Amino acid sequence: MPDAEAKKMSGSAAAAVLLMLFDEDEAAQILSRLEPDEVRQLGYAMYDVADVEVDEVNLALDQFVNKAKGRTTIGYGASKHIRGAMHKALGPDRADNMLAKITPPTSSTKLSMLKWMEPVEIAGIIEREHPQIMAIVLAHLDPAAAASVLQLLPADAQDDVVYRVATLGPVSGEALDDLEQLIGNRSGGPRSGGQTTKRGGTVEAAAIMNNIRKDHEQRIMKALTKRDRAVSQSIEDEMFIFENLLELADKDLGTVMRSIDSAVLVVALKGASDMLKTKILGCMSQRAAQSIADEMEERGPMRLAEVLDAQKQIIAEARRMGDEGTIMLGGKGDDYV
């Protein structure tokens, strides 16, 4: 076998080897603390290393020890450490009052289990509930899963749910407790204790909308615009930002750039990533690209508000072309027929 210094196991393979060294109960305790994707990946790896050799076990152990040496104690027992320091600095009464305001809420046991459930199962639980309940549940899911659940909910409630996600404020601990009871938590775990948690907002609503089918998106956004144009516009602004131009095909990006005044493009590119600058300039003729690059150099620093305004003009043009079918905008659950 090659020298241990020359060979290194992948993280999942090394973790799988270590996990196989524990008994079932110990391994179960570790698995229970992982995310679904991590459990799935580790499960595959455990089958792959089922016939592991002694040298590979030693290699996995060496990697674990080296990583452990590089870790500090920060993050281990942080809550106890923070509480102790606060008590010593402020005294018990003042410290407890302060901690009550700043301590993040304990994660909800059953709500954290939502990520393990299939979208159809989640939709079945909440489809007859108030749209506000639906919104809170969707706000606790990752955008792709939330989009899948949203599309399974009654069509006439979907825009209302998205609106409530976008305008969702702090959710009380009592509301979270009621939601846990709805979902079916009977574990008797710690309750939220009256604390609140902040979820939702136009960014989360936009992330959900970016993962649904194009026809659903158009219908929901049209209904949202009728309901609250400002909220609808805020969501739309978050759905397609300047860096999303990276997702366009070179041909489509070139089509957009040809319709943009060079003065606007010079300003917009001042706030773009190097990758996007390269892609945009690469869609132009060498002469045009050099001219834009020279102008950017001459202009020097620019006000952020000016840069953002120029980028919004280009985004608006890209959206217009996408709506007309002149170009194909990526994302948003592309559909082909």
DSSP 134-155: HHHHHHTS-HHHHHHHHHHS-H
Residue 120 contacts residue 150 (beta carbons within 8 Å): no
Give me the chain's average pLDDT, please.
Answer: 78
Distances (CA, A) of 306 to 106, 268, 271, 301: 42, 8, 10, 11
For the stretch 53-64, what's the b/e string if a residue is b when 16 or more beta carbons lie within 10 angstroms of its beta carbon? eeebbebbeebe
Q: Place 5 in a pLDDT band, splitting at 50, 70 and 90.
A: very low
pTM: 0.53
> pLDDT, tens digit, for every residue of 204-219?
898 899 888 878 888 9
Q: Distance between CA 267 and CA 184 in Å, rounded?
A: 54
Contacts of 306 (CB under 8 A, 6+ apart): 267
Residue 181 contacts residue 301 (beta carbons within 8 Å): no
The pLDDT value given to residue 111: 63
* CA angle in degrees (0–180, nearest 5) for 108-157-153: 65
Per-residue pLDDT, averaged over 239-248, amounts to 85
Residue 335 contacts residue 213 (beta carbons within 8 Å): yes
The pLDDT value given to residue 256: 92
Q: Distance between CA 172 and CA 107 in Å, rounded?
A: 13
Q: Distance between CA 283 and CA 249 in Å, rounded?
A: 10
Residue 229 contacts residue 163 (beta carbons within 8 Å): no
Instruction: Determine how many CB atoms are found less than 10 A away from the CB of residue 285.
Output: 9
The pLDDT value given to residue 191: 44
* Whether residue 195 has pLDDT greater than 70: no
* Whether residue 268 has pLDDT greater than 60: yes
Of 19-23, 89-93, 106-110, 241-245, which range is least confident?
Answer: 106-110
The pLDDT value given to residue 202: 87
* Whether residue 160 has pLDDT greater than 80: yes
Domains of the chain listed by start with CATH number: 11-69 (no CATH), 109-220 (1.10.220.30), 245-324 (1.10.220.30)
More confident residue, 191 or 151: 151
- Please report which residue ranges of the chain form alpha helices under DSSP H: 11-21, 24-31, 36-48, 54-69, 78-90, 92-102, 109-112, 119-126, 131-139, 143-152, 155-166, 173-183, 202-209, 214-227, 229-239, 250-258, 262-269, 274-282, 286-299, 304-324
Q: Distance between CA 36 and CA 237 in Å, rounded?
A: 32
Of 51-60, 177-186, 222-231, 260-269, which range is least confident?
Answer: 177-186
